[in-house]
Amino acid sequence: MGIVRQDVAKLGAGWNKTLLNYALAMRALDALPISNRNSWKFLGAMHGFDAELWRGEELIGGTDTVPSELTDGTYGDQCQHGSWYFLPWHRGYLATFEAIVAAKVKELTGDDWSLPYWNYLDTTNADARRVPQAFLADKLPNGDPNPLRTYPRRTGLSVLQPGRRDAFSLAAVQENDFIVGNNGSIGFGGGITGDFVQFGGWTGDLENNPHNTVHRLIGGYMGDPRLAGLDPLFWLHHCNIDRLWEAWMSTPGKTMTRDSRWREGPADRPFLMPALGGADPGITFGGADTLKGGKFHPTYDNLTKGTGLVPGGVAVARVGMGPSHQQSVEPIGANASAVSVGSKPESSLVTLEPRATTAGVAAMGATTPGHTVTRLYLALESVRGEASAPQIDVYVNLPDGADPDAHPELHAGNLTLFGLNVASRPHGRHGGNGLGYTLDITELAQRLQQAGGFDPTKIRVTLVPGEHVSDDSPITVDKISVLKRVGIVS
């Protein structure tokens, strides 16, 4: 692409040239009508759009004409989540946004511009989680209102502050395969779908954390996919998520999918981005266009800091399970009925098939090449609710009435259910199917086994409500199951 994306922390404190130019361009683009395909609001509506919500937020006035292409599926409401299209679609979205902002910067100042990333996972920077100051300032250097503060965030936000159990995680980059299984329920990238779907069935590891976690922690518009693209921080966050994907693909031992359905994009319609200037026919693309050599492939200044990876060097130390297409994923147990979580923790018994479970547990620690190796996962299927980014914690074999904080060793994971409101709408294009998640419980199962506490006939799963979950806004999970992933040590 001819440009290099840089860490915003390396560009200088306060109003460095990159962020000042970003603010100036944003102000100009936000002054354009939503009918302009290069306007700030049109770009934001491409991620998610709800005319009633936007009017309620006074983002569009009563006399504003909303172009039909934002409501008929042509350009609006495109964001891909819960599927293997999550990463390639957002990469194309970033590149389009970057080109439009860069053109406006050039027009206003004559400067070149590229989208920076916010490296909130950089352990070498003590201030990595602090919101860049330019996004918090009341005024521009000349005293004008700061456009980078136009849209609301969590009250008092100045630094990303995860709670006791919802810490940032780079566990996603330990996964060696983009997708595993017939439906892609396990893997780095998200569930398999052949068609365009804004919220699909299975959330990939990288999307779950840190992507979803950061959306919730920033809050405000960032906490709702129908508004998130309006916050200028959205673009720096997604730039970092995109960088993590690039680092993962550049690391030995990681396997990207070669499936033609992914490479060519949705079968029922192409992904579509507005051209610079907004003229028809726009820019269509598929997954292959986001890979090396493709029209949307980016360049980053660094793929090591804050990624947990060493591209071109040593892969993350996890036992290889062989080619992903030769691995298998099978359910070995499930609970009997749906679970509803309100203000209190709720538990459900998952009945296991003893023989398959015993064999799976026995092979979890295999390291000898050629031997069978397994990993175990909890799957939460058809998760529904009305909140836009609620949070739950998942525990295995937590004693009845026990304080979850007293048993970190039984914590299977934290989930921020970003977009749950959209995925749960019964009359939406998603059919109200909700979202799906898998949590790797291999190490937890090994600890239980070593302590003599793993029963091959059953496990008890406890869902602990977090932020935005209450009796008035509960979360329902249609099914909780245990999946066994089987491969051969490579």
CB 377 within 8 A of CB 439: yes
Spatial distance between the Cα atoms of 421 and 224, rounded to a whole number of angstroms: 8
From-to residues of CATH 1.10.1280.10 in the chain = 8-290
Whether residue 465 is preceded by a cis peptide bond, meaning omega within 30 degrees of 0, is no
The average confidence (pLDDT) of the chain is 95
From-to residues of CATH 2.60.120 in the chain = 324-488
Spatial distance between the Cα atoms of 60 and 78, rounded to a whole number of angstroms: 19
Kindly report the CA angle at 93 between 155 and 176, in degrees rounded to 5? 90
Residue 313 is predicted with a pLDDT of 67
Residue 64 is predicted with a pLDDT of 83
Spatial distance between the Cα atoms of 78 and 119, rounded to a whole number of angstroms: 26
Q: Out of 291-305, 429-443, 447-461, which region has the weakest mean confidence (pLDDT)?
A: 429-443
pLDDT band at 429 (very low <50, low <70, confident <90, very high): low
Sequence length of the chain is: 490
pLDDT band at 62 (very low <50, low <70, confident <90, very high): confident
Q: What is the pLDDT of residues 271-303, one digit of tens each?
A: 999 999 999 999 999 999 999 999 999 999 999
Q: What is the pLDDT of residues 372-427, one digit of tens each?
A: 999 999 999 999 999 999 999 999 999 999 999 999 999 999 999 999 999 998 87
Q: What is the pLDDT of residues 333-363, one digit of tens each?
A: 999 999 999 999 999 999 999 999 999 999 9
324-488 is classed CATH 3.40.50: no
Q: What is the pLDDT of residues 198-208, one digit of tens each?
A: 898 899 999 99
Domain 8-290: assigned CATH number: 1.10.1280.10
Residue 1 is predicted with a pLDDT of 45
Percentage, residues of the chain above pLDDT 90: 89
Spatial distance between the Cα atoms of 425 and 126, rounded to a whole number of angstroms: 41
pLDDT band at 431 (very low <50, low <70, confident <90, very high): low
Residue 430 is predicted with a pLDDT of 54
State CA 285 to chain mean position distance. Answer: 21
This model's pTM is above 0.85: yes
Q: Is the pLDDT of residue 460 over 50?
A: yes
Residue 433 is predicted with a pLDDT of 85
Where is pLDDT greater, at 453 or 60? 60
Q: What is the DSSP letter of 67?
A: P
